[in-house]
Amino acid sequence: MLFDSHAHIDDSRFDEDRAAVIARAQEAGLVGILNAGACMESSARSIALAEEHAFIYAAVGIHPHDAKEAKDSDYEQLADWTRKPKVVSIGEIGLDYYYDLSPRELQQQVFIRQLDVARQCNKPIIIHDRDAHGDLMAIIKKEAKGLTGVLHCYSGSLEMAKEVIKLGFYISFAGPITFAKDGKLKEVAANVPLERLLVETDCPYLTPKPYRGRRNEPAYVKFTAEEVACVRNMEFAALAAAATTNTKRLFGIA
């Protein structure tokens, strides 16, 4: 009963066997996949996937990597897309200071404009945060009032997690929880309130053990869920059920 709360199966790395990947996800018992947009083109592909498969849902948004490509008309298009029944979120959006593929000031501007879209359309948000904790928190506190959403593939501290949870957000764990060495991420997973916890693959990236180094796919979300259950000293079935319930609650999925 797992739900992969963040995937990119529209990625070109799935072009040769996408149907088989989706079939393996169903065979593995997944009840849902949320495919996140990273640019306007991938957002459109996410919608197409969601409309083709009953258990796939779509998020639409402009990733910080692509902030430099954003046009004024894109925000109106994002808002229009949210009227489609399978589009459940604005995302993934946020800041990435690790690669800096778009200027930081522009990343912030595009992030804030998409927060406005989410507010206008009454949609939760999916946040990307890499090496940008300080600026991200400042923007959330000032510009995301009244919004809810998730910090996907969480990489911050336990203190930061507690703060964003107080602000109404969820925390999602991906493959790195299975190979983290410093214990910080496991500490966060052990202490996040169960009702605010999600699991994801972020496929084709961040493949968990035992498949690390290969292409990731939604069926592998169980390895992340197993590790989270382990660090919380919980039964896997209970963790999986809670994470799935949380995902459906956050994104308004019946």
Q: What is the pLDDT of residue 30?
A: 98
Taken in order of first residue, the domains within the chain and their CATH numbers are 3-251 (3.20.20.140)
Q: How confident is the model at residue 181 (pLDDT cuts 50, 70, 90)?
A: confident
Q: Is the confidence at residue 152, as pLDDT, over 90?
A: yes
SS3 call for 254:
coil
Q: What is the pLDDT of residue 180?
A: 74
Residues above pLDDT 70, as percent of the chain: 100
Helix intervals (H) in the chain: 18-27, 40-52, 72-81, 104-121, 133-143, 158-166, 184-191, 221-232, 236-251
Q: Is the confidence at residue 23, as pLDDT, over 90?
A: yes
Q: Is the confidence at residue 182, as pLDDT, over 80?
A: no
pTM above 0.95, yes or no: yes
* Distances in whole angstroms, Cα of residue 241 to Cα of each of 123, 124, 151, 177, 248: 23, 21, 20, 19, 11
Average pLDDT over residues 37-48: 98
Q: Is the confidence at residue 156, as pLDDT, over 90?
A: yes
Average pLDDT over residues 169-178: 97
Question: Which pair of tokens denotes residue 229?
Answer: 């259950």
